[in-house]
Amino acid sequence: MILVTGSRLARRRLFLGGGLMMMGVTALGLLLLDRLAPPDLHRARDAALLVEASDHSLLDAHTSRDGMWRLPLKAANVDPGYLALLMKTEDHRFEHHPGVDPQALGRALWQIARRGHVVSGGSTLAMQVARLLTPHPHTWTGKIRDIFRALQLEWRYGRSGVLDLYLTLAPEGRNIEGIRAASLLYFGHEPDHLSTAEAAILVTLPRRPSAFRPDRHPQALRAAARRTLARAALPTPDILQAPAAPEIAHLAPELLGHFLTVHRDGVILTTLDSGLQRRVRDALTASPAPLRGTFAALVVNEKRQIVVWIGGAEHDGPGHAIDGVLASRSPGSTLKPFIYGMAFEKGWMTPRTRIRDVRLSIGGYAPLDFDRAFRGETTVSEALQLSLNVPAIQALRKVGPKAFMERLAANGATLSLPKARNGEKSAPSLAIALGGVDLSLHDLTMLYTALDHQGRTAPLQIEAQPATAETMLLTPRAAADIRAILRGTAPPEGVSGWNRVAFKTGTSYGNRDGWAMASTPQWTVGIWAGRPDGTASPGLTGRDTAGPVLAEVLALLSPPESPALQDEQERHRALATLSPALRKLSPDDTPQIIFPRDHAEIESRSSDGTMLPVGLEASGGHPPYRWFVNGMALDVPPGAQPAWTPDAPGFAHLALADASGAHMAVEIRVR
């Protein structure tokens, strides 16, 4: 008897050990299968992009890579009423089964056996998610695969993870998937608050998304939604309207493109003002654009938040996919205020300082003013208001091109120098004062915010975020001086005047870019005009092309506050109070030969073979000048324009001496 009992105990232990081993092998096999065939979640992770204005209105949007309106969503961000209705009507034992509901499956199979057709489905939310992740035909093979995948999903991600996947992938008609995308596109708000009718529509649509499509079968959708509420024993609203087909306004296509370029998706709440964005875009579209060109605009409020971003109005022409807000362009004369401001803060000049606007040679280059004339002696204030080139170059010579670029870069501006002939980047030069460096409208507008922010800049915000640290571009006094000068600049033609607007325009070399910049206590506005492909646009200027558009944009903005007495009466120090060194900028003590340039080749022979005179031009130093050709003094009558007639083609040595004895010489070739 004892032996029998011992034998039974041994058999039980053996049976138990074998069972445990079999369970272990099964678990190991399932774990191996899970690793070899993990759920494919790429559809759940491939999201659309929706760009919202600051009031949450939809500005623009783009589908996911597979062409769907789909947005990730977690159950914590969904209206509880929707979740309750979903569980009651789709999977009321969701919290108690492991992904597959044996009772529901058994009932469905029994009904099929008795009636020969499907009466009620047995799919759980997990089984629906399995089919949504990898869509396939409704076959028995597919159903069996969904069962195993549902068990895997519940084991891997838990009930909350499965629910989140369903909320992200549920088909809601057309190419809309997920509760968040459907709520935003159909109802215009997030799904964290849904009415009973809205919840019923979103629960009902996934059952037959094609048959219940709101824009095609609104009556069928309303009837089905009423049945959903009846099944859940909930009161049916008197009027249950089917949602209209979603419409995208496409008010910010360039900003949308920027976000796509940096691989953003989901819902992005921006700082844009939807009303202003629409009105400014309409104004730019209605404005006469440069030939085959367009306009770009950026408007920034006093908090340095971007409220308008228009990278190109609706004009036809090549290259219009380029975002004019972010594209790097030559800024023309728009950097001159900061050159003077840095010269002011260093004490090298003041707004009242007298400065000479005369011919000047820089590395063999003799710049002209925009109207190809020179004013002689003028004040720094007038030189900036008239955007004279030579005075700005003299100021930049004091500041230093490299130091100037480094200060702008330290304030967040990305600047790009043109490439030299050998393909390498050229060194900073005085040409920066005339637009010899590229930067974007975005960065230029950021720099102009310093004028009404005590000389300080900070990164512009396109998404609401905490204020970032400021950087000093100019001292407060220098910024105030520049602001006062630019407020005295004449407005564009046809504008009688504007209150407290610091105004500056610029035109790049070859009429490729026209700029108009404005700073007020409430707004900073930047306008760019030109061809997006960077080619020249005949007749384009900053003042005449971009300036009137800037005036239109300023008129659309809220009117500025009444001027403060102290700010309105900003005055510069009287000339008599300045030290002698600041009353007049000392001219360059070295005489310069403006024409001809060193190593120049000059055509000086007419068609009949006679030699033609070569005009000579000098600047700087201390006039009067004396000219020498091949060591021989040139006879120049008093008051006459110096000229020399070569005897024959060949090389010549030209020398210049001023009244102090300083001299300069060039070598030329006459052909």
What tens digit of pLDDT does each residue of 146-193 get?
A: 888 888 888 889 999 999 999 999 999 999 999 999 999 999 899 999
* Mean pLDDT calculated for residue range 577-599: 70
- The pLDDT, as a whole number, for residue 118 is 45
Q: Which residues pair with 440 in a beta bridge?
A: 328
**Beta bridge partners of residue 667, listed in sequence order:** 653
Contacts of 441 (CB under 8 A, 6+ apart): 296, 298, 324, 325, 326, 327, 329, 526, 528
pLDDT at 149: 85
Residue 17: phi and psi, rounded to 5, are -65, -40
Burial of 27 (0-12, 13-18, 19+ CB in 10 A): exposed
pLDDT digits (tens, 9 = 90+) for 29-84: 555 666 666 788 989 999 999 999 999 999 999 999 999 999 999 999 999 999 99
* Between 349 and 575, residue with greater pLDDT: 349
pLDDT at position 609, please?
A: 79
Contacts of residue 608, defined as CB under 8 A and 6 or more positions apart, other chains included, come to none
- Residue 366: name the closest of 393, 329, 340 by CA: 393
- The number of CA neighbours under 13 Å toward the Cβ of 565 is 0
Instruction: State yes or no: pLDDT of 101 exceeds 80.
Output: no
Which residues does the annotation mark as catalytic? Answer: 90, 333
Answer yes or no: are the C-beta atoms of 408 and 417 closer than 8 Å.
Answer: no
Number of neighbours of residue 646 by Cβ within 10 angstroms: 18
Q: Cα–chain-centroid distance for residue 264?
A: 13
Closest CA to 311 of 250, 272, 254: 254
Nearest CA-CA partner of 210 in 172, 238, 256, 167: 172
- pLDDT (tens digit, 9 = 90+) per residue, 486-506? 999 999 988 877 888 999 999
Angle at 251 between CA 294 and CA 261, to 5 degrees: 80
pLDDT at residue 475 tops 90: yes
Give the alpha-carbon dihedral of 63, 64, 65, 68, to 10 degrees.
-70
Q: What is the pLDDT of residue 239?
A: 57
Q: Is 161 helix (H, G, I), strand (E, B) or coil?
A: helix
Predicted confidence at residue 120, as pLDDT, reads 47
Tokens of 95: 């919290």
The band of 373, judged by pLDDT with boundaries at 50, 70 and 90, is low
- Helix, strand or coil for residue 263? coil
The token pair at 614 is 């070569």
Q: How confident is the model at residue 319 (pLDDT cuts 50, 70, 90)?
A: low
Angle (deg, nearest 10), helices 80-90 and 125-133: 100
CB contact at 8 A, 349 and 380:
yes
What average pLDDT is seen over the chain? 85
What are the start-end ranges of the E strands in 154-281? 176-177, 266-269
The DSSP-derived string for 288-328 is -PPTT-EEEEEEEETTSBEEEEES--S---TTTTS-TTTSE
* Angstrom distance (rounded) from CA 317 to CA 303: 35
DSSP letter assigned to residue 231: H
Read off the pLDDT band of 237 (50, 70, 90). Answer: confident
The identity of residue 2, as a single letter, is: I
Q: 243 pLDDT band (50/70/90 cuts)?
A: confident
pLDDT score, position 620: 74
| Cα–Cα distance measured from residue 50 to residue 57, given in angstroms and rounded to the nearest whole number | 10
Comparing 272-276, 463-467, 484-488, the range with the smallest average pLDDT is 463-467
pTM: 0.81
Separation in Å, CA 156 to CA 34, 37, 122, 170, 498:
9, 12, 22, 20, 65
Q: What is the CA radius of gyration of the chain?
A: 38
Average pLDDT over residues 244-253: 84
Examine the pLDDT at 326 and tell me if it is beyond 90. yes
How many Cα atoms sit within 13 Å of 366 on the Cβ side?
18
Residue 184 backbone dihedrals phi, psi, to 5 degrees: -70, -40
pLDDT confidence bin for 322, thresholds 50/70/90: confident
Better pLDDT: 375 or 159: 159
User: Do residues 603 and 671 touch, judged by C-beta distance below 8 A?
Assistant: yes
pLDDT in tens, 18-27: 655 655 655 5
Nearest to 476 by CA among 498, 496, 450, 458: 450
